[in-house]
Structure 1
């Protein structure tokens, strides 16, 4: 079993609160304050979970420069007062940064009872498959 340190537990909480604040910021018509707090909490949570050095190397690898510039540029744009444009840039950067992880995350979410049913709806399935880079393969296809 994997031992999780207290710092990693705090990091998961910070990242979770960050995602919650980001969701509320978008839900409340791109509230600049909530989006800024969500970004700060998410980045600090990620740093706590994987460590400061790994976080730095994750964002500043040569092949991830474009994605990191889009992500951090989006944060700066949000803080400057244009939350909708900033969030578009952040989402683009986020998808580029985490595209290697997205298929695994989507397959995990498809196994969650209610969420899996929602993700199996025809329109949503096509969109999620395209975002995750999934070619119609998921963990449930071998059962059919």
Structure 2
């Protein structure tokens, strides 16, 4: 069981609401109002979930600075009513910032009953490993 404080629970809620609004904004042909609200909720949720100091540290680390700049530029473009271009910048920033978590997500998804056997299939596994950045020994 995962024990979260009340603040962290609110962070999970805000991040989830941000992700929902982000998907809704994309489905409504890149509505800049929905995408703007999604970005604000997502950033507030991350700050509540891991704390303000850790959030600033995460986005300002030397190896993550390019991703942070791309992500911030994407948010700025969405606020300035250029949602599609902002979305592209934001996705590159998200990949740079959260790309190292893809390997962890794939390993978790391989333990899920329905998705796991599909991701572990010998035809699919090498492709998923390459996309997620999982290094496999050639033995």
Same fold (TM over 0.5): yes
Residue 70 of structure 1, CA deviation: 0.3
1:33 equivalent in structure 2: 33
Matched, 1:61 2:57: no
SS at match of 2:78: helix
1:5 equivalent in structure 2: 5
1:23 equivalent in structure 2: 23
Partners in 2 of 1:117 and 1:91 — Cα distance?
Answer: 28
Matched, 1:132 2:132: yes
Unaligned runs of 5+ in 2: none
Relative to structure 1, the CA distance from residue 7 to residue 30 in structure 2 (aligned partners, 3 Å threshold; closer, same or farther) is same
The answer on whether the counterparts of 1:71 and 1:92 sit within 8 Å (CA) in structure 2 is yes
Residue 102 of structure 1, CA deviation: 1.6
Residue 82 of structure 1, CA deviation: 1.1
1:84 equivalent in structure 2: 84
Unaligned runs of 5+ in 1: 138-144
**1:82-129 deviation per Cα after TM superposition (whole angstroms, max 9, x unaligned):** 111111111111111112222101221233334446656867973x43
Matched, 1:74 2:67: no
Relative to structure 1, the CA distance from residue 111 to residue 74 in structure 2 (aligned partners, 3 Å threshold; closer, same or farther) is same
The answer on whether the counterparts of 1:74 and 1:86 sit within 8 Å (CA) in structure 2 is yes
RMSD value over aligned CA atoms? Answer: 2.4
Relative to structure 1, the CA distance from residue 114 to residue 125 in structure 2 (aligned partners, 3 Å threshold; closer, same or farther) is farther
Alignment of 1:108-119 (within 5 A): 108-116=108-116
The answer on whether the counterparts of 1:119 and 1:125 sit within 8 Å (CA) in structure 2 is no
When normalised by structure 2's length, the TM-score is 0.84
Partners in 2 of 1:125 and 1:107 — Cα distance?
Answer: 13
